[in-house]
């Protein structure tokens, strides 16, 4: 055990993601097994500043591996964006005897963790967001569950869309990223996938395609919009006016963030949680866990936050052959 760490704090931050509970459980149980004490910090950085902190034992994380959401709750916290809030957090961690912190969250939460690391706090980050928009990792906790949830929902909408011979726009989450749209759209055989990384905003081209495909006998036309491209309801009205075809938009919304985590999300979250504790045991801090190039690994947090992520070329090939991205 790292001789200068006695107690590890764990928090979840940013948008919740299915599998966060599995990560909390893995951090807690691995840490206790390694001889550390564990404190759960509720409501992310907001709860840290409010000193909403509870002691955890192995039973605190019983019966949660199969549950969506996060038993620690989560939040977004403006106060923590500023150095004054971050300095306050450092004092609170000291006051509660928390020697190291595991932050389970997305890119924004990592930036918060980096700020703490720069102030001398021992931190480890675990990637958790349904958006998959963390550059340093090919996998983020919750994405697998979210795309499966979206896929099932889109399949259902497709049934009714075909029956009514409608055009359907289905908007999925992802903030500024298009990964949920990309995966669920390919899996459902969508006619178009519109993502911020690739959409050229040429609606005339889109409308011409809809008319062309209708003429060759298509009974439905499914368009998957990533939320980052704009207002799907307004787009539906414009498409209906231009094509004369009944067009409906459906925003899948928060159902994509909830639900029981898939096997992959539970297992990967468990491995990542355990790895976070192993790093601390070995005296390593200021690192984030990743799954990259097919293996679990970890990076320096400063390096990780400089990384850039691009859509893999294989997706472009599928795009040109099976589906239209614009």
- One of 99, 107, 171, 227 touching ligand ADP (CB under 6 A): 107
Residue nearer to ligand ADP on the CB measure, 125 or 185? 125
C-beta nearest to ligand ADP: residue:
108
Q: In terms of CB distance, is 78 or 263 closer to ligand ADP?
A: 78
Query: Does residue number 15 form part of the binding site for ligand ADP (CB under 6 A)?
Result: yes
Residues tagged active-site: 131
Q: Which member of 9, 14, 142, 228 binds ligand ADP (CB under 6 A)?
A: 14
CA–CA dist 115, 162 (Å, integer): 51
Nearest to 263 by CA among 17, 15, 19: 19
Residue linked to tokens 């893999």: 312
Q: How many angstroms separate the CA atoms of 137 and 127, rounded?
A: 7
Closest residue by Cα to residue 306 from 101, 143, 111, 86: 111
99: left (phi over 0), alpha (psi -120 to 50) or beta: alpha
Residue among 262, 236, 240, 245 at smallest CA distance from 171: 236
Of 17 and 93, the one with the shorter C-beta distance to ligand F6P is: 17
**Only segment of 33-41, 75-83, 150-158, 299-307 that touches ligand ADP (CB under 6 A):** 75-83
Cβ closest to ligand F6P, residue 94 vs residue 176: 176
Under rule CB under 6 A, residue 29 binds ligand F6P: no
The reply on whether position 291 binds ligand F6P by CB under 6 A is no
- Distances from the Cα of 19 to the Cα of 75, 89, 185, 205, 269, angstroms: 17, 26, 23, 40, 6
Q: What is the DSSP letter of 79?
A: G
185: contact with ligand ADP by CB under 6 A = no
Contact flag: residue 104 with ligand F6P (CB under 6 A): no
When binding is defined by CB under 6 A, the residue of 15, 19, 47, 127 that contacts ligand F6P is: 15
262 binds ligand F6P (CB under 6 A): no
Please tell me whether residue 129 binds ligand F6P under the rule CB under 6 A. Answer: yes
Whether residue 179 contacts residue 234, with contact meaning beta carbons closer than 8 Å, is answered with no
Site for ligand ADP in 77-106 (CB under 6 A): 77, 80-81, 105-106
Measured CA to CA, the distance from residue 89 to residue 74 in angstroms comes to: 16
Q: By CB under 6 A, name the binding residues for ligand F6P.
A: 15, 106, 129-131, 173-175, 227, 257
């Amino acid at each position: 055990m790292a001789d200068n760490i006695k107690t590890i704090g764990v928090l979840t931050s940013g948008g919740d993601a299915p599998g966060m509970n599995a990560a909390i459980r893995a951090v807690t149980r691995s840490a206790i097994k390694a001889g550390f004490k564990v404190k759960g910090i509720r409501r992310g950085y907001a709860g840290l500043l409010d000193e909403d902190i509870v002691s955890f034992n192995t039973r605190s994380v019983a019966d949660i591996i199969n549950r969506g959401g996060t038993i620690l709750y989560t939040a977004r916290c403006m106060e923590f964006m500023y150095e004054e809030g971050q300095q306050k957090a450092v004092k609170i961690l000291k006051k509660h005897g928390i020697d190291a912190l595991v932050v389970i969250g997305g890119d924004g939460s990592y930036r918060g963790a980096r700020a703490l690391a720069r102030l001398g706090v021992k931190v480890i980050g675990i990637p958790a967001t349904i958006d998959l928009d963390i550059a340093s990792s090919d996998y983020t906790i919750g994405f697998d569950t979210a795309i499966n949830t979206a896929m099932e929902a889109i399949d259902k909408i497709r049934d009714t869309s075909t029956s009514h011979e409608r055009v359907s726009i289905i908007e999925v989450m992802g903030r500024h990223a298009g990964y949920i749209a990309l995966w669920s759209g390919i899996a459902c055989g969508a006619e178009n996938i519109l993502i911020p990384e690739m959409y050229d905003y040429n609606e005339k081209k889109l409308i011409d395609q809809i008319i062309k495909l209708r003429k060759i006998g298509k009974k439905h036309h499914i368009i998957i919009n990533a939320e980052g491209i704009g207002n799907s309801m307004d787009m539906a009205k414009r498409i209906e006016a231009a094509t004369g075809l009944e067009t409906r938009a459906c925003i899948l919304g928060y159902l994509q963030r909830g639900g029981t985590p898939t096997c992959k999300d539970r297992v990967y979250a468990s491995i990542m949680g355990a790895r976070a504790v192993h790093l601390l045991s070995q005296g390593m801090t200021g690192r984030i866990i990743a799954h990259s190039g097919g293996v679990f690994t970890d990076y320096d947090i400063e390096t990780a936050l400089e990384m850039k992520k691009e859509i893999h070329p294989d997706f472009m090939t599928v795009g040109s052959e099976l589906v239209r991205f614009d």
